[in-house]
Copies of this chain bind each other. A is one copy, B any other.
Amino acid sequence: MYKESSITCKNCTCRWSNFDNLKEEQLELINASRFQAQFKAGEIIFKQGSPTSNAIFLTSGYAKIYIEGYDDKNIILAIVKPTRLIAGPGSYVDNRHHYSMAAITETTACFVDMTVIKKLVLENSAFAEGYLKDISGKSLNTFHKLVSFNQKKMHGRLAEGILHLSDDIYESPKFNCNLTRQELGELTGMTKESVVRLLKEFHDENIIKMDDRVIEILDKNKLQKISISG
């Protein structure tokens, strides 16, 4: 772990938007308590079941957040990139992580002591409200995932997944998703074999272009239709 002296929470360009609600000395408190760490692709950042001692903020790179279910089957809840707070809902329930996090590219992250965050929640109600907004939004995402997994068929879920990666995560019609077929399956609720078959199908129908892990959306319109109807 190291801390770059030049960058602080005050001038950081990729800090959590809710930090805007903090007063200077509160921000300084965060800055003083934080540690930075670097992870290589594939490395685990924290494990489900471990204590939620820190809130985590990515400062560079991409990571996956995933629930480890029964017999080694994972569900990827989200692909995350800088700016987003990562502090599992367990922080305010049982102080345990209810999902794991691993880097999918080289990644740097700030660790902030959770007791400091909780202290600021009690001291600064605008910050508390920001936290509520944050967790509420994530809740809605989980609802969406529940409905999608439950009611859409594979084609629809994969189309939705690709659109999500393109629109929300990599913000480009062509992107390296950094995910194995297995992981794409964990993101969209299907087996790796099904992912392979459907990607090929989409490829053959000129809806996407697939080259290893680089996906290019060729017919976004069609993909959206599949996403809705499937």
Contact = CB atoms under 8 A, between A and B. Distances in A.
Interface of A: 67, 69-70, 73, 75, 77, 89-93, 98-99, 118, 121-126, 128-129, 131-133, 135-140, 142-143, 145-147, 149-152, 189
13 contacts: A67-B146, A67-B147, A89-B135, A89-B136, A91-B136, A93-B133, A93-B140, A99-B143, A122-B125, A123-B125, A132-B135, A135-B139, A139-B142
Given A93-B136, A139-B142, 18 more contacts: A67-B146, A69-B150, A70-B151, A75-B150, A75-B151, A89-B139, A89-B140, A90-B136, A91-B136, A99-B143, A121-B128, A122-B129, A123-B125, A128-B129, A142-B142, A145-B146, A149-B149, A150-B189
A140 B128 CA distance: 19
